Structure 1
Amino acid sequence: MSRGDSPSLPPKTSTNGIMHNNSNPNLSSSFPASSDDESIGRSSNFSGYDPNDRTSGEASPILMSPWNQASPFQPSPWFTTGIDNSKNGAQQSGQSDGLVGSLVREEGHIYSLAATGDLLYTGSDSKNVRVWRNLKEFTAFKSNSGLVKAIILSGDRIFTGHQDGKVRVWKKNRKDPRNHKRIGTFPTLFDILKYSMRPKNYIEVKRKCTTLWIKHCDAISSLSIDEEEGLLYSGSWDRTFKVWKMSSSKCLESIKAHEDAVNSVVSTKSGLVFTGSADGSVKVWKREGSGKSMKHNHVETLLNQECAVTALAVAETGLFVYCGLSDGLVNFWEWEKQLSHGGLLKGHKLAVLCLTAAGNLLFSGSADKTICVWKKEGNVHNCLSVLTGHTGPVKCLTVERDAGKSSEEVKWVVYSGSLDKSVKVWNVSEKSPEKSMEKLPDRSTEKLPERSTEKLPEKKMGVM
């Protein structure tokens, strides 16, 4: 997910919605409260694999998918394809657009990715976080519980969101970057004990269950960071998003945001926060105040319809907000027109599972196993190409600018993680696509007629 350098939200008096057909996966059951069984300060640079270590995903409906069946073969080592190994696995500067290489291991579905410089972090339902350097395995670290649903980076710290509802914080050793040390968990055990003493600190969540307001009681689906304010936002299937002070590990606020699972949360530098949910809505929240007086107020509902909202992204320029839906469409809104609806991007046959924006491009990954590359020119978006090669749904994307290219040629390195247990690496230029990528000229922006704002019955759909 991308954070935009966006202006403040202008006043707006109307709310629009849109109607689509609904898909109906099941939402995971909530996790009971549990204490953190890990010891803070442990260092890890292991690279082992336990084929039986899959307990953290037992509550996930994705275990019923055909991609999760046990393999009759022994786990294979990491391997790469399509990569020139003559330069430590890095691609040559003359590499054309398209697939650069694949990183595969029979370890688990890939749920999350994050990249910085020459390092790539991958999270899976094995509970391992693998670290890659120049497309070769560099090191790894492991959480004792909770498959890794989200990864986000801030300096030398790595924040991971897990199926067990916790955020774990890791720090990379500057002298030995192979060594990653766990330095904390949100919320801390001390805060759990402190707040559990008073009944007023318990809130009611779904199915008449109660829990501490500082704790997520279901899987964390999304993380976002406001670097300037030092805030971490976590969205969860428990229908809330929480605001954390990164320097103190304190939960500053918990917001009951939606009537169903929160599938995505994105913060912006202007103090706006966008949340997308399985209840079919996209909401805008405005941050006011700071510290203990901080409040996030609901100021806008951009979308209120039947199909589940599965992913959100904000363009780097801050001019567009994008929303992926379970019916395969992408909605977008324009900042300069008071967040009015800009249109639909039709490019996928199945649900959009992830979005990320970079430069003038938008990347959308889907359950149809493809990645659409959209280029915006003004407020028009055209599909430059479709990246194909995954054999399972594309669950996560992250993009880095190709540092080896001149400023005249804007080129991106795209990492895609899939439920086929692989990560693929692509070169994508903002120029016309090469033959190695499929060109689909019929995938483009479509403007919508006026939409109904009627609220439809509640659904159950968490994004795996």
Structure 2
Amino acid sequence: MEEIQKWLANGYVNNTEILSKSPSDLSSSATTSTSQETHSARTLCEDTSFNSLGSSSCNNYTGCPIQAKPSSISHFCIATLGTLTPQISCLAVQNTTLYAASIKEINVFDLISFELVDAFGPGLGLVKSIAFSDGKIFTAHQDCKIRVWKQVITSSSKQKHQLISTLPTFKDRLLNCMFAKNYVQVRRHKRQLWIQHADAVSGLAVNNDAGLMYSVSWDKSFKIWQISSDMHCLESVRAHSDAVNAIIVNPLDKTIYTGSADGYIKVWRKPDGRKKHQLLTAIAKHKSSVNALALTRDGSILCSGGGDKKILVWEKGNENYQNHDHMFVSCCLKGHGGPILCLVHVNGVLISGSSDRTVRIWKYGKGFGGSCLAVLEGHSKPVKSLVGIPGADLNDSLRVFSGSLDGEIRAWKVIISDESD
């Protein structure tokens, strides 16, 4: 248990740390002594301890030289959700449903009642990422596979999730296995099909407009999948010199960003008329691994979180956001006491989770820098995943869900307003 907590909390640092043990070894050692645990019911969080900081008084902020526009913020924990097994590794939201992956299974909660409505995927390995497209749910696993699920309604009107495929599909493997050119060297004395990941699948990103999904892995590559009709692998790119931890895609211009344990962020795109993706630029300012990426809705600003405890805000080289050859750091956000493990943009703010067990809310912008607005405390172990949902009205700016290695999912209500309003 201690070993899996360590590599989950710090991200993937190098290839030799995990390759000495198989995913099944790690999964089995981490799931012992959990049979006696039970789901906790909906719980109102009575412990509302937090540290709310004004933008001009955040003592932990040492980043941008120019402060952000003054804002006031209020926040409180509205619920705590528990799971059958500890260590929440991934959160994702679709419509009014929250998906929470733990070591043993994926739990599904109703966002209105906070009730558990389904649990699926037991024994299939740790889930690293969840994505959605056209009614299908994609889960990336430590066992090198991507699984595809669909939601079905039973005769008793209950939600159930059914496994419909595993990527690469049997058809895809069959079409490629007959030709020697389709095999690549993945380790010494080991070859396998290029359509297969050779290590844990660490992240997924979907471009619904193009009908494509992108996956990254600790095998240093990312792959492009056709998912709109017949699901198959279109391309595999040897992207980094170490494990790839994060991927995000801008659907507006189909630009792909990958972050790796080698400290680099790389920018990719497939030029018109070309069959393969090409590297546009490689940028490196983090002193350690890049663990998380977040992109603004218009694609103009990229944020990266690293093992060096910093969040870097990147801007492109010109005003029409098309020049990736020159990306520069416009802001550096400091304050976390441990590696940054997750980032999310919502309602004009950036939210970060760290191994220091806290969630921080940041506000920044072009021309006025940024600062820490608030610190959300309550988790007893590293915060591994975050999702943010815009509020339904002006009095509810957003809701934030944080998943931690302590096995808890905390639901926060956050209200932000400019002091000038």
TM-score range, shorter chain: 0.7 to 0.9
**For residues 344-379 of structure 1, what are the alpha-carbon distances to aligned partners after superposition, in whole Å with 9 as ceiling and x for unaligned?**
110211100111111211111000001110112335
- Give the counterpart letter for 2:333 in structure 1: L
SS at match of 2:380: coil
Alignment of 1:350-429 (within 5 A): 350-379=338-367, 380-403=369-392, 405-406=393-394, 409=395, 411-429=397-415
- Give the counterpart letter for 1:258 in structure 2: H
Corresponding residue number in structure 1 for 2:93: 115
SS at match of 2:277: strand
Q: Give structure 1 stretches of 5+ with no counterpart.
A: 1-21, 33-55, 85-95, 434-464
- Indicate how the Cα distance of structure 1 residues 289 and 207 shifts in structure 2: closer, same or farther if over 3 A, else same: farther
Corresponding residue number in structure 2 for 1:245: 226
1:81 corresponds, among 43, 60, 69, to 43
Corresponding residue number in structure 2 for 1:458: none
- Give the counterpart letter for 1:268 in structure 2: N
1:170 corresponds, among 139, 149, 159, to 149
**TM-score of the aligned structures, taking structure 1 as reference length:** 0.73
1:256 corresponds, among 238, 242, 254, to 238
Number of aligned residue pairs: 367
* Paired-residue identity, %: 35
Give the Å deviation of 1:184: 1.4
- Give the counterpart letter for 1:287 in structure 2: K
- Indicate how the Cα distance of structure 1 residues 201 and 73 shifts in structure 2: closer, same or farther if over 3 A, else same: closer
| Preserved CA contact (<8 Å) 1:363 1:372 | yes
Give the Å deviation of 1:182: 1.6
Is 1:272 paired with 2:263? no
| Preserved CA contact (<8 Å) 1:323 1:332 | yes
- Give the counterpart letter for 1:274 in structure 2: Y
| Preserved CA contact (<8 Å) 1:30 1:217 | no
Is 1:214 paired with 2:179? no
Is 1:180 paired with 2:161? yes
Q: Distance in 1 between matches of 2:315 and 2:189?
A: 39
Q: Distance in 1 between matches of 2:34 and 2:203?
A: 33
**For residues 3-43 of structure 1, what are the alpha-carbon distances to aligned partners after superposition, in whole Å with 9 as ceiling and x for unaligned?**
xxxxxxxxxxxxxxxxxxx99676421898xxxxxxxxxxx
- Indicate how the Cα distance of structure 1 residues 114 and 330 shifts in structure 2: closer, same or farther if over 3 A, else same: same
Q: Give structure 2 stretches of 5+ with no counterpart.
A: 1-10, 47-73
SS at match of 1:79: coil
Q: Distance in 1 between matches of 2:382 and 2:169?
A: 35
- Give the counterpart letter for 1:28 in structure 2: I
**For residues 240-262 of structure 1, what are the alpha-carbon distances to aligned partners after superposition, in whole Å with 9 as ceiling and x for unaligned?**
00000012111000000001000
SS at match of 1:179: strand
Give the Å deviation of 1:299: 0.8
- Give the counterpart letter for 2:96 in structure 1: D
Alignment of 1:71-150 (within 5 A): 74-82=36-44, 97-126=75-104, 128-133=105-110, 134=112, 135-142=114-121, 144-150=123-129
- Indicate how the Cα distance of structure 1 residues 306 and 234 shifts in structure 2: closer, same or farther if over 3 A, else same: same
SS at match of 1:194: helix
- Indicate how the Cα distance of structure 1 residues 366 and 239 shifts in structure 2: closer, same or farther if over 3 A, else same: same
- Indicate how the Cα distance of structure 1 residues 30 and 411 shifts in structure 2: closer, same or farther if over 3 A, else same: farther
- Indicate how the Cα distance of structure 1 residues 83 and 390 shifts in structure 2: closer, same or farther if over 3 A, else same: closer
